[in-house]
């Protein structure tokens, strides 16, 4: 698979306690991205954060939060990202979703020329 240098970065912010069916929401999102043939997906776990509720979630030893912040990142072309967002729309209940234009410099063995 190749990826052109003009792509979109999709970020989905959620809590690790959020569920879809019997499993974690982040896992369902990543598996759906793979099933739909997207270029790749990464889940990042944050040690501290808060969202629309204002409630602090932290990984401090004395405050063992079971709902640490997560970010699912997916990069691909616009058409595939938009199709993915339509497919997962019902799963995204209390999440923040953002899109950014990105320039892909390297994907696997494919290198793009870099302008500085």
The pLDDT, as a whole number, for residue 70 is 95
Q: List 97's β-bridge partners, or say none.
A: 12
pLDDT tens for 73-84 read 999 999 999 999
b or e along 90-102 (b: 16 or more beta carbons within 10 Å of the residue's beta carbon)? ebbeebeeeeeee
Q: Which of 69, 68, 84 shows the shortest CA–CA distance to 9? A: 84
The pLDDT, as a whole number, for residue 48 is 81
The pLDDT, as a whole number, for residue 112 is 72
Architecture of domain 6-106: 2-Layer Sandwich (3.30)
Token duo for residue 2: 């190749």
What's the predicted TM-score (pTM) here?
A: 0.87
The pLDDT, as a whole number, for residue 64 is 56
pLDDT tens for 31-87 read 999 999 999 999 999 888 888 888 777 766 555 556 889 999 999 999 999 999 999
57-58 vs 48-49, strand pairing mode: antiparallel
The H or E element that residue 87 is part of is helix 78-88
Instruction: Please work out, in degrees rounded to the nearest 5, the angle formed at the alpha carbon of residue 24 by the alpha carbons of 23 and 27.
Output: 100
Mean pLDDT, the chain, as a whole number?
89
């Amino acid at each position: 698979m190749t990826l052109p240098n003009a792509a979109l970065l999709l970020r989905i912010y959620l809590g690790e306690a959020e569920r879809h069916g019997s499993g974690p929401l982040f896992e369902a999102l990543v598996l759906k991205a793979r099933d739909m043939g997207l270029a790749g997906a990464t889940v990042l776990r944050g040690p501290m954060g808060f969202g629309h509720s204002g409630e602090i979630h932290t990984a401090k030893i004395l405050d063992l939060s079971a709902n640490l912040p997560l970010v699912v990142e997916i990069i691909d072309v616009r058409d595939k990202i938009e199709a993915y967002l339509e497919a997962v729309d019902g799963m995204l209940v209390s999440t923040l979703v953002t899109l950014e234009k990105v320039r892909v410099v390297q994907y696997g063995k494919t290198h793009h020329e870099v302008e500085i």
